[in-house]
Structure 1
Amino acid sequence: MKKAKVLFFIYQMGGGGAARTLLNIINNLDRDKFSPMLVTLNFDGSYESEIKEDVKFLKLPTRRLSKSIFQLAKIIKEEQVDLVFSTIPRVNTIAILATMLSFSKAKSVVREADNLGGDFKTNLQLLGFGMMYKLSNQVISLSEGVKENLINKYKVKATDIKVIYNPVDLKSIRNKVERGQIPAEHQSIFDSSDKIVVTAGRLVDQKDQRTLVSAFAKVNPQISSRLVILGEGPLKEELERQAAELNITDRVHFIGFQSNPYIYFEKADLFVLSSKHEGFSHVIAEALATGTPVVSTDCKSGPAEVLNKGEYGFLSKVGNVDDLAENMLHVLSLNDQQTIEIIQKGYERAHHFDAKKIVQQYEEVFLNTLTK
């Protein structure tokens, strides 16, 4: 059987969840059935070094999405691509247009990764994205909540949407935990008897680390602890000022983006996600896979699905400092046996998202789309 050539298109292979998802799909795709290639704009991304060697990787000579349409269309035509897969609304729009303008047999599959919405202008924009999505051959949603949003705000038909959860590469995570080592400059954080709370994500409004820092300030006087924040972003200075105002500067550690966050997760007593909205929340599934208990906001729409409405972790009200602090204190106060039980349940849940299983679902969608 001839292998299907699948072109994966993304803005850049940076440190975000969308890039990590693409990495997991590409690396685990069945090479007997598919030949994957990756195209990005002209940016360097932190996950590039993890792409398997057999993947053809091209960078377009532009950093502007609007200028990439015809360049991408040319590649689709010349490489005789069978299927184009993309994620993130603006990137999806470009991928759909480029696939059409390639005047080839290539088909388009787009993935929606977040529960977007807001004011009138934003919702009007989502309708525009929805009109474009209808020109694709298949829409994939990474959670039931995101599917609901696609139906209500993008006006995409339910029958045109397939839900596939994010793939978590359990084997890769295990290897990184076993072979990784906390850098010397961070080792002292973990050498104390303090409880360690960790979070990871861009320092942006969506992730709402402000609420987490305030909640941690309530937790620390009751249980001596440290907050480790992984990630970069425009709110770093503001969050540092907040920590200073709350007199917890020596207890909050901003350690930037880490290519191997799992060694930090595994050493922590608790992982906390404080987001205002998520599509799926890849990172809490990864935290469960490292054996770390999870507290998350019950934001639209991923965490409740990943944690199965609180069965595998604790859900807090969005933006509620007291509720978040209460759940954090609860987990940090558990005895050893209770903690072991939570960790075991977390491992059990993480296996529901094993990349090998999830990528098989993607393969099925790809093959079905090609025969439409």
Structure 2
Amino acid sequence: MIDNTTEKKENSNSKEKVLLVINCLQGGGAERVVLTLGQGFYDLGYEVHILRFKPRVDYELNPKLNYHFIDFKRYKLIPKLERRDKVFAFVVDRYISKNIGQPDMILSNLDRADSILSNSKLPNIFYVIHNTVSLLYKFDNTNAADTLKSKMINIYSKHPCICVSKGAEKDFVESFGNITPTIAIHNPVDRDYIQKLGDVFTPEYQDYIVHVGSFKEAKRHDVLLKAYARTDQSMPLLLLGKGKLKDEIEQLVVELNLEEKVVFLGFQENPFPYIKHAKFKVLTSDWEGFALVIAEALVLGTPVISTDCPSGPSELLPDNNLMPMSDVDAISEKLSLAMKNPEQFFSEFDGSLLPITIAKKYIAFASDSKIKEYS
């Protein structure tokens, strides 16, 4: 007689493990990428673990993955950030070794996790660079920027880096030099899941434009509204998201007399029905890492126009769909063209972005990095 419980345990122990580390699972693009990439590894037969340092969760969690939480808040009492991160890294290492074992790959996401794991003693760590760092951190010639760059070089030189777009990789190398092995691997997009969520309900709005993104500086809602105000506003503009600049943007809507045309819908755990039923989606960012919302719109067959910021959009859209950054006149003109004929901005989804395919690229890079490390 076969002991199925023992066999299952042995099979689990024999599985390769991947650990994805991120500060929290709030409603952001990087957080959604972590969950989607985790699914890709699971589909390849990996045992997938996700570790966070804040309790907040805005997304539905896939029960096939394993979730861990270590509260960073209690360690904030330790003076000096560098010492705090070293102490917490020791706690993290001990927790991983005891509760997960040795992962074959540890993927660190966003600066909080990156800083902590730069102090880790565990092997197989890789940083995932989700942003155009020079723009996000406002690198310039000031002493403060030089100090910040020096600290970041100290962090990112310790492990290989996986950048979410070619533009992000180019910017990373130009900002820091060839301090570590890098590669550009696009973010994964779960086509089937997005299409399923897109059918959950039908929005009450019709014939509208949609923008999905946090109210923060990079997204340039101010430019979008000023450009939209110069059109005939024949379609309403739906804004999905939350963020610290929301009050400021709401005031701008009043100043531009757009109260009857602009709709604030807040953060939506499932934004996909709004994207699917939009006539087109617009993005007016000054910087993106990958611009995940563009790929998601393409999955749903929704036309997209976007600013041609340094990384992301130009790798997903044809030139016809792109607009110069911060150019209110050019963006207004493109909005008007899209309102008259949205279908001219339709573009196909690239199947190479599916989670399994992207996870395989991570595995190949990790394997290549290990070969070079030990050769």
> Does TM-score exceed 0.5, indicating one fold?
yes
- 2:131 matched residue in structure 1: 114
2:201 corresponds to: 181
Could you say if the C-alpha distance between residues 8 and 264 of structure 1 is closer, same or farther in structure 2, counting changes exceeding 3 Å? Answer: same
Q: Name the counterpart of 1:235.
A: 245
**Residue of 69, 74, 86 corresponding to 2:108:** 86
Partner of 2:280: 270
Sort the Cα spacing of 1:56 and 1:370 in 2 relative to 1 into closer, same or farther, 3 A: farther
Q: Retained in 1: the 8 A contact 2:282–2:304?
A: yes
* Structure 2 counterpart of 1:5, one-letter code: K
Going from structure 1 to structure 2, the CA distance change for 1:107 and 1:235 (only over 3 Å counts) comes to same
| Cα distance between partner residues in 2 of 1:332 and 1:358 | 34
Contact 1:216 1:325 in 2 (8 A): yes
- In the alignment, is the contact (CA less than 8 A) between 1:115 and 1:301 conserved in 2? yes
In structure 1, how many angstroms separate the alpha carbons of the residues matched to 2:43 and 2:36? 14
SS of 2:64's equivalent?
coil
- Structure 2 counterpart of 1:17, from 19, 29, 39: 29
Distance in 1 separating the partners of 2:163 and 2:370: 19
Is the CA contact 2:42–2:65 (under 8 Å) kept in the aligned structure 1? Answer: no
Distance in 2, matches of 1:303 and 1:124, equals 31
Match of 1:29, SS?
Answer: helix
**Distance change >3 Å, CA 41–CA 54, structure 1 → 2:** same
Q: Deviations over 1:68-104 (max 9, x none)?
A: 3222111222232223111123321212312x2xxx5
Match in the other structure for 1:77? 97
Structure-1 residue corresponding to 2:149: 126
Corresponding residue number in structure 1 for 2:8: none
Give aligned-pair identity as a percent.
Answer: 26
**Aligned ranges for residues 67-216 of structure 1 at < 5 Å?**
68-78=88-98, 79-82=100-103, 83-98=105-120, 100=121, 104=122, 106-117=123-134, 118=138, 119=140, 120=142, 121-136=144-159, 138-157=160-179, 160-178=181-199, 180-182=200-202, 187=204, 189-190=205-206, 195-216=207-228
CA distance in 2, matches of 1:318, 1:173: 28
Mapping for residues 293-332 of structure 1, pairs under 5 Å:
293-308=303-318, 310=319, 314-332=321-339
Assess if the C-alpha contact under 8 Å between 1:84 and 1:95 holds in 2.
no
Structure-2 separation of matches of 1:242 and 1:25? 37
Name the amino acid aligned to 1:354. Answer: L
Q: Give 1:351's aligned residue.
A: 351
Distance apart, 1:133 and its partner CA: 1.8
* Root-mean-square deviation (Å): 2.1
SS in 2 for 1:81: coil
Unaligned regions of 5+ residues in structure 2, if any? 1-10, 77-83
The alpha-carbon deviation at position 197 of structure 1 amounts to 0.9
CA distance in 1, matches of 2:220, 2:147: 25
Query: What is the CA–CA distance in structure 1 between the aligned matches of 2:71 and 2:102, rounded to whole Å?
Result: 20
Aligned letter for 1:113?
Answer: H
After TM superposition, give the deviation of residue 150 of structure 1 in Å: 1.4
Q: Decide whether the 8 Å contact of 2:210 with 2:278 is kept in 1.
A: yes
Which segment is superposed worse, 165-174 or 62-71? 62-71
1:29-73 deviation per Cα after TM superposition (whole angstroms, max 9, x unaligned): 1456421111101321112x232x232211112235846322211
- Whole-angstrom CA distance in 1 between matches of 2:325 and 2:281: 16
Deviation at 1:126, TM superposition (A): 3.0
2:50 is the alignment partner of 1:50: no
Identify which of 262, 277, 294 aligns with 1:252.
262
CA displacement at 1:356 relative to structure 2: 2.8
Residue 217 of structure 1, aligned match among 229, 246, 252: 229
Question: Conserved in 1, the CA contact under 8 Å of 2:305 and 2:345?
Answer: no
Work out whether residues 43 and 356 of structure 2, in 8 Å CA contact, stay in contact via their aligned partners in 1: no
Instruction: Provide the secondary structure at the position in 1 that maps to 2:365.
Output: helix
The separation in 1 between residues aligned to 2:56 and 2:36, in whole angstroms, is: 18
**2:124 and 2:367 mapped to 1: Cα distance?**
11
Provide the rounded CA distance (Å) in 2 between the counterparts of 1:302 and 1:127: 26
Secondary structure of 1:249's match? coil
Are the aligned partners of 1:274 and 1:297 in contact in 2 as well (CA < 8 Å)? Answer: yes
Question: For 1:171 and 1:363, how far apart are their aligned partners in 2?
Answer: 23
Moved more, 89-98 or 2-11: 89-98
Quick one: which amino acid aligns to residue 87 of structure 1? N
Residues 164 and 290 of structure 2 are in contact (CA less than 8 Å); yes or no, is this contact kept in structure 1? Answer: yes
Q: What runs of 5+ residues in structure 1 fail to find an aligned partner?
A: none
Judged with a 3 Å threshold, the aligned counterparts in structure 2 of structure 1 residues 45 and 122 are, in CA distance, closer, same or farther, namely farther
In 2, the alpha carbon distance for the partners of 1:253 and 1:32 equals 41
Contact 2:15/2:47, CA 8 A, preserved across alignment: yes
TM-score of the two chains, using structure 1 as the length reference = 0.86
CA contact (8 A) 1:286 1:350 kept: no
1:351 CA drift (Å): 2.4
Query: How many residues in Structure 1 have an aligned counterpart in Structure 2?
Result: 342
